[in-house]
């Protein structure tokens, strides 16, 4: 029986990162994957959807420029070429991952790294049964990492055929862009695909939203800008405060019925439907319950810093259904390796996790938002500046967006969180993420010299507003520069009236 220091089940971003980190410590590693190296993050997740988003953004930008500067507003789009470009991106990354695994054998890791294709099942807490086309074998490992990812959540009453009514697993496989489609779910995945298909300019997109605004986990100022652009610029129809009563396939298209809070109902017809109501962990058939792993309502119960209730078994990435982000999964994978071999000096922290929502406009975030601060009873100060007050944005002809920084309501003004909404948003949050991770205040940011003109100058102006030394004084431009405080008694204080009541 082959024996390993660590066996990792699942070769998506989380499992792959864990395997490579184990090699750094000279450990004997077995990586098992039943389908494709790279997982959903490569084939029908982050890389594929973001490639489509980039392509759709280019198309939308071209349409806007042609409309503004040319008398000929015609624009022909060949979706087959779009699909070829998408396939090329996936193939490029797939080649990198697979050739890297192959190259490990020649790069001094031939005695340490092993890869097996097949389905894995735990027999005991240290033994794993692997089944593939060659038969079945059992291996033994000191430690085991579960990194099997997740799949789209489905509703039994909806006839998902992955052709007319689809999930994110097959939304990229349309032969042509549909003339119309409905998206069930107004979270990140649903809104990203609404952005993509509406950007191409050939699909009338509907979104079914059970609340009164999309992205219900975000602050209303973020949701409001996204909604405004969705409706006014991209022509998206948002069904607010609506409940899906039924969805059916009729004559090769989709018929769905909604009910509203006033008791009325309405029937709609579209060509396609996308179900985007979250994801569920892939844990079935792994034998985890039999060896003592416990579960909660979200997935595998992580009892202690990536460690499950079985001391030598760890769970990382989407399978825990905690924070479904590639960068978080990779972080967890690398940390799990350090923890199991006694190399971790600190617990894993999620306080400064950065994320991006590929919408229109782009939304980047780190730390808490206002809603989360209020839920935790934290007194805070928040300052924001619209792109309209930033010279670079003016030169770009005023794209929509703003920067918002949240700090503690005290003299230290430690950074709690930031939201950046608009072009270049993803490159604007890292300095603030560093301040959050080190528990620092905002004084350091105020003295940095940023290139001019650049959008990130707006971050510096936000910080200067907090310190009372901004170039533009907020009370002059109240519509584009805002400064307020929130007290734990629910009271809001406006500009310069923020006092310490905590």
Tell me the two tokens of residue 439.
Answer: 């528990």
Q: For residue 494, name the pLDDT band (cuts at 50, 70, 90).
A: low
Residue 111 lies in a domain: yes
14 and 143, same structural domain? yes
pLDDT for the residue numbered 498: 46
| Whether the Cβ atoms of residue 40 and residue 13 lie closer than 8 Å to each other | no
The predicted model gives 396-419 an average pLDDT of: 90
167: closest CA among 10, 243, 323, 278? 278
Q: Domain limits at 386?
A: 361-493
- Sequence-distant (6+) residues with CB within 8 A of 181 are 197, 203, 204, 205, 206, 254, 270, 271, 272, 273, 274
373 and 489, same structural domain? yes
pLDDT for the residue numbered 501: 45
Residue 500 has pLDDT above 50, yes or no: no
CATH number at residue 404: 3.30.390.30
189 and 101, same structural domain? no
Residue 390 lies in a domain: yes
Cα angle 178, 364, 47; round to 5: 50
What DSSP string runs through 368-418?
Answer: --HHHHHHTT--EEEEEEEGGGSHHHHHTT--S-EEEEEEESSSS-BEEEE
Last residue of a domain, one of 226, 256, 277: 277
Q: For residue 499, name the pLDDT band (cuts at 50, 70, 90).
A: very low
pLDDT for the residue numbered 427: 82
Residue 62 lies in a domain: no
| Whether the Cβ atoms of residue 43 and residue 181 lie closer than 8 Å to each other | no
375 and 420, same structural domain? yes
Main-chain dihedrals φ then ψ at residue 493, nearest 5 degrees: -120, 135
| Whether the Cβ atoms of residue 367 and residue 406 lie closer than 8 Å to each other | yes
Return the percentage of the chain with pLDDT > 70, whole number: 96
145 and 7, same structural domain? yes
Read off the pLDDT of residues 2-30 as tens digits, 9 standing for 90 and up. 999 999 999 999 999 999 999 999 999 99
Q: For residue 73, name the pLDDT band (cuts at 50, 70, 90).
A: low
CATH number at residue 224: 3.50.50.60
Read off the pLDDT of residues 438-491 as tens digits, 9 standing for 90 and up. 887 888 777 777 788 988 889 989 999 988 888 888 888 888 999 888 876 666
116 and 174, same structural domain? no
Residue 500 lies in a domain: no
Last residue of a domain, one of 340, 371, 388: 340
pLDDT for the residue numbered 473: 85
**Cα(293)–Cα(300) distance, rounded to whole angstroms?**
7
293 and 272, same structural domain? no
The predicted model gives 32-61 an average pLDDT of: 90
18 and 31, same structural domain? yes
Tell me the two tokens of residue 19.
Answer: 């395997």
Please say whether the dihedral angle defined by the alpha carbons of residues 388, 391, 397 and 401, taken in this order, is positive or negative.
Answer: negative
Residues in the chain: 502
Residue 212 lies in a domain: yes
Residue 229 lies in a domain: yes
Number of domains in the chain: 3
């Amino acid at each position: 029986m082959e024996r390993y220091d660590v066996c990792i089940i699942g070769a998506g971003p989380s499992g792959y990162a864990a395997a490579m980190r184990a090699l750094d410590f000279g450990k004997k590693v077995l990586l098992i994957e039943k389908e494709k190296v790279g997982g959903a993050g490569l084939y029908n997740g982050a890389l594929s959807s973001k490639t489509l988003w980039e392509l759709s953004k280019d198309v939308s930008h071209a349409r806007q420029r042609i409309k503004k500067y040319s008398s000929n507003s015609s624009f022909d789009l060949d979706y087959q070429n779009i699909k070829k470009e998408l396939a090329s991106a996936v193939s490029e990354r797939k080649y990198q991952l697979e050739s890297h695994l192959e190259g490990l054998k020649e790069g001094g890791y031939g005695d340490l790294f092993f890869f097996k294709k097949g389905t894995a099942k735990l027999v005991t807490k240290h033994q794993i049964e692997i089944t593939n086309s060659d038969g079945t074998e059992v291996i033994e490992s000191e430690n085991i990492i579960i990194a099997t990812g997740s799949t789209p959540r489905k509703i039994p009453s909806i006839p998902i055929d992955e052709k007319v009514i689809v999930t994110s697993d097959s939304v990229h496989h349309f032969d042509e862009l549909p003339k119309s489609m409905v998206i069930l779910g107004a979270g990140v995945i649903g809104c990203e695909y609404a952005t993509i298909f509406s950007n191409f300019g050939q699909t009338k997109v509907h979104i079914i939203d059970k609340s009164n605004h999309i992205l219900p986990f975000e602050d209303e100022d973020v949701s409001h800008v996204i909604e405004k652009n969705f409706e006014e610029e991209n022509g998206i129809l948002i069904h607010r405060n609506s409940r899906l009563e039924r969805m059916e396939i009729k004559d090769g298209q989709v018929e769905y019925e909604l009910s509203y809070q006033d008791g009325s109902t309405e029937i709609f017809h579209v060509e396609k439907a996308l179900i985007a109501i979250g994801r569920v962990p892939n844990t079935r058939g792994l034998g985890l319950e039999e060896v003592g792993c416990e579960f909660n309502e979200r997935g595998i119960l992580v009892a202690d810093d990536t460690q499950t209730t079985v001391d030598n078994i760890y769970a990382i990435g989407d399978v825990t259904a905690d924070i479904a982000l590639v960068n978080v999964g990779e972080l967890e994978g690398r940390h799990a390796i350090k923890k199991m071999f006694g190399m971790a000096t600190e617990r894993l922290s999620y306080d400064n996790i950065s994320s991006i929502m590929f919408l229109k406009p782009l939304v980047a975030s780190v730390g808490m938002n206002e809603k989360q601060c209020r839920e935790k009873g934290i007194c805070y100060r928040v300052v924001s500046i619209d792109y309209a007050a930033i010279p670079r944005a003016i030169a770009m002809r005023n794209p929509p967006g703003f920067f918002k920084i949240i700090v503690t309501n005290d003299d230290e003004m430690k950074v709690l969180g930031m939201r950046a909404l608009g072009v270049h948003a993803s490159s604007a949050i890292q300095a603030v993420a560093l301040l959050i991770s080190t528990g620092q205040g905002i004084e350091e940011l105020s003295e940095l010299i940023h290139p001019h003109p650049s959008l990130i100058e707006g971050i510096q102006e936000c910080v200067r507003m907090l310190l009372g030394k901004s170039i533009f004084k907020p009370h002059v431009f109240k519509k584009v520069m805002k400064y307020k405080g929130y007290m734990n008694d629910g009271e809001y204080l406006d500009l310069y009236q923020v006092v310490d009541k905590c």
